[in-house]
């Protein structure tokens, strides 16, 4: 079968196979995340970390079966092109996962708040441990909170992605999520074992190398130039660099998706 063929019906069967074989794992996954959100429902920073970490773990194990001699042969014998298999992996690890995360958060937040208030009511009547207090239903993952996580925006200005009423918090979270998912999805194909840790170490090493190269290039180009010597020039330069970096960051997910496709094709060959 040609690796670049795309058949919607065949792709649909591929999704059916995925849910048929992994329904139990998916149920455990989303039940666990719902419990995590019940506990962390009022901590936007903690929930964001949980989403990003659980997401990359999920993506890093997506192609685990292709590295086993038995299951790997069975996977590549599936009547679907590598393009269709890549589309499945991208949809499942990026878009499906994020949508399910939001559903798990909504259910976990509702149940967590309800359970907390029920225990708080019993606390007043039966138990006097004073561990639970009545709290209103809040949607902190959607930016409706006032947390203290200071970040730096792409134009070099200080920003707070978690400040009250920040309508772009979920977009920034999804941006970081997509980047992590695409990198670790590629890692699940490239590395034969210890996919998560191998990808993590490779990302750290490559990131440090790029940082050193970038810093060296700036020093060679500008020499002893100091940003503080000309605040206007320094600000414009920082803004330009920020715009370039933002464009590169948005190009990372499609880049790693394309590389994953070609790497998966090589694995089959």
Q: What is the pLDDT of residue 155?
A: 42
- Please report which helix (H) or strand (E) contains residue 244, including its range: helix 231-268
- Domain assignment of residue 118, yes or no: yes
Range of the structural domain that residue 79 is part of:
8-268
Quote the pTM value: 0.80
Residue 254 domain-assigned (yes or no): yes
Q: State the pLDDT at residue 244.
A: 77
Sign of the Cα pseudo-torsion (72, 77, 82, 85, in order): negative
pLDDT in tens, the chain (269 residues): 555 678 899 999 999 999 998 899 999 999 999 999 999 998 989 999 999 999 999 999 999 888 888 888 888 888 888 899 999 999 999 999 999 999 999 999 999 999 888 887 776 555 555 566 777 888 888 875 444 343 333 344 444 444 444 557 888 899 999 999 999 999 999 998 899 999 999 999 998 998 888 878 777 766 655 555 555 655 666 677 777 777 788 899 999 999 999 999 887 76
* Confidence (pLDDT) at 124: 57
Is 22 a domain residue?
Answer: yes
Tell whether 1 is covered by a domain: no
What integer pLDDT is reported at residue 120 of this predicted model?
A: 77
The answer to whether residue 200 sits within a structural domain is yes
pLDDT at 182: 95
Q: Which tokens go with 123?
A: 């606390």
| Predicted local distance difference test score (pLDDT) of residue 250 | 85
Residue 88 · residue 66 · CB < 8 Å:
no
Domain contains 133 = yes
Q: Tell me, yes or no, whether 103 lies in a domain.
A: yes
Residue 2 lies in a domain: no
Q: What domain count does the chain have?
A: 1
Separation between Cα atoms, residue 118 and residue 121, nearest integer Å:
5
């Amino acid at each position: 079968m040609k690796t670049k063929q795309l058949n919607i019906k065949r792709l649909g069967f591929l999704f059916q196979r995925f849910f048929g074989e992994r329904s139990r794992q998916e149920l455990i996954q989303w039940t666990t995340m719902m419990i995590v959100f019940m506990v962390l429902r009022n901590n936007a920073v903690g929930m964001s970390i949980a989403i990003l970490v659980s997401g990359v773990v999920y993506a890093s194990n997506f192609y685990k079966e292709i590295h086993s001699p038995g299951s790997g042969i069975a996977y590549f014998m599936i009547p679907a092109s590598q393009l269709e298999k890549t589309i499945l992996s991208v949809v499942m690890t990026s878009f499906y996962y994020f949508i399910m995360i939001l559903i798990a958060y909504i259910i976990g937040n509702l149940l967590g708040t309800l359970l907390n208030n029920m225990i708080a009511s019993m606390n007043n009547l039966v138990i006097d441990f004073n561990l639970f207090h009545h709290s209103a239903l809040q949607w902190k993952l959607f930016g409706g909170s006032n947390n203290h996580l200071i970040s730096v925006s792409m134009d070099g200005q200080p920003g707070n992605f978690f400040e009250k009423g920040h309508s772009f918090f979920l977009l920034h979270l999804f941006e970081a999520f997509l980047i992590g998912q695409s990198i670790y999805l590629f890692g699940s194909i490239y590395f034969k074992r210890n996919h998560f840790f191998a990808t993590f170490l490779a990302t750290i090493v490559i990131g440090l190398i790029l940082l050193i190269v970038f810093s060296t290039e700036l020093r060679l180009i500008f020499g002893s130039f100091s940003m503080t010597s000309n605040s206007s020039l320094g600000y414009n330069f920082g803004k330009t660099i920020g715009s370039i970096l933002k464009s590169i960051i948005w190009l990372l997910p499609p880049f790693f998706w394309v590389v994953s496709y070609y790497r998966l094709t090589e694995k089959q060959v």
